Copies of this chain bind each other. A is one copy, B any other.
Amino acid sequence: MKTTTAILLLFGTLLFTMCTPVEEYEIGEGTWVDLTHDYSEETLFWPTSDTFKLDTVFVGQTDSGFYYESYKFSTAEHGGTHLDAPIHFSEGKKSVEELEVDQLTGQAVVVDVSDKAEANRDYQITPKDLTSWEAEYGEIPNGAMLLFYTGLSAYWPDAEQYLGTTTRGQQGVAELSFPGIHPETARWLVENRNIKAVGLDTPSLDYGQSTLFETHQILFEANIPGFENVANLDQLPATGAYVVALPMKIKNGSGAPLRIVALVKD
């Protein structure tokens, strides 16, 4: 039965090889992690920006005898967990509704820079942070959703700890202090990798003390959108999660409230 044994081995190997899925992300297998902060009166916004307000339309029993409640709200586009569309800093680039669902979904790459951000809350993520990550996990794949975990999300919604200030208005902007992505890193990504989007758990892609927002400019010029104030990134593995990031579909919007979730394999 030597031939039979050989065939058994051959088919065993074939079975293993052919059953390994090309795409490893199967919806329905795995656990959804919500990477989104609530919108409420506590939601943090840029110091110069209008904030989120929910107003009651009706709450209670109607004259017709049934229970009913309903609200309306107002908000700036750029607060809470939200999308930055490329047009926010780059004329003629994509607005919110022009971003295809395909660009807002994909394999998560999660880069943990929390040690550095804890040591320096004005830390700017460097190209070396990415090459170090790649040395451990392999090259950032085409179409990746690149997410940075700085650890700042632990302070949400405490403005003093998260934004670095509770001051509103232009004086508040001058006092902002939080980590971000160095413009050189944005340039390295645009020139060397093919990512779909970038996200992080801080108020802005650029660090708090930025005045030119160069990281925004560089990424958006390349039509790469940003996700800001992302939550729960500590719950994602470095690779292997799948991100679905769906903004409210505002026509001509420069940004929008974002519901971002990730499927993590069990």
| Residues of chain A whose beta carbon lies under 8 Å from any beta carbon of chain B | 1, 3-4, 7-8, 11, 14-15, 18-19, 21-23, 25-29, 32-34, 36-40, 49-50, 54, 57, 64-78, 81, 87-91, 97, 100-102, 105-107, 211-213, 217, 242, 244, 246-255, 257, 259, 261, 263
27 pairs from A and B in contact (CB 8 Å cutoff) = A3-B4, A8-B11, A11-B14, A19-B19, A21-B26, A22-B29, A23-B28, A25-B28, A32-B100, A34-B100, A38-B249, A39-B251, A49-B72, A50-B72, A54-B252, A70-B78, A71-B250, A72-B74, A72-B76, A72-B77, A81-B249, A246-B246, A246-B259, A246-B261, A248-B259, A249-B257, A259-B259
Interface of A is mostly: mixed
Cα separation A54 to B19 with both chains bound (whole Å) = 50
* Supplied contacts A11-B15, A39-B250, 5 more A-B pairs, CB within 8 Å: A28-B242, A34-B249, A66-B217, A101-B261, A249-B257
Residues on B with C-beta less than 8 A from A49 are 57, 72
Residues on B with C-beta less than 8 A from A33 are 101
Cα separation A145 to B91 with both chains bound (whole Å) = 39
Check B246–A105 contact: CB distance below 8 A: no
Check A66–B212 contact: CB distance below 8 A: yes
Q: How far is the CB of A6 from chain B (nearest CB, A)?
A: 9
Cα separation A32 to B100 with both chains bound (whole Å) = 9
Cα separation A72 to B248 with both chains bound (whole Å) = 13
Check B71–A254 contact: CB distance below 8 A: yes
Cα separation A14 to B106 with both chains bound (whole Å) = 32
Residues on B with C-beta less than 8 A from A39 are 248-251, 253
- Give the residue name and chain of the B residue nearest to A69 (CB): B254
Q: How far is the CB of A119 from chain B (nearest CB, A)?
A: 30
Q: How far is the CB of A265 from chain B (nearest CB, A)?
A: 11
Q: Which of B57, B217, B257 contacts A76 (CB 8 A)?
A: B57
Cα separation A149 to B103 with both chains bound (whole Å) = 27
Residues on B with C-beta less than 8 A from A75 are 72-74
Q: Which of B38, B73, B77, B261 contacts A71 (CB 8 A)?
A: B77
Cα separation A159 to B252 with both chains bound (whole Å) = 22
Cα separation A88 to B40 with both chains bound (whole Å) = 18
Q: Which of B19, B69, B211, B250 contacts A87 (CB 8 A)?
A: B69
Residues on B with C-beta less than 8 A from A248 are 39, 248, 257, 259
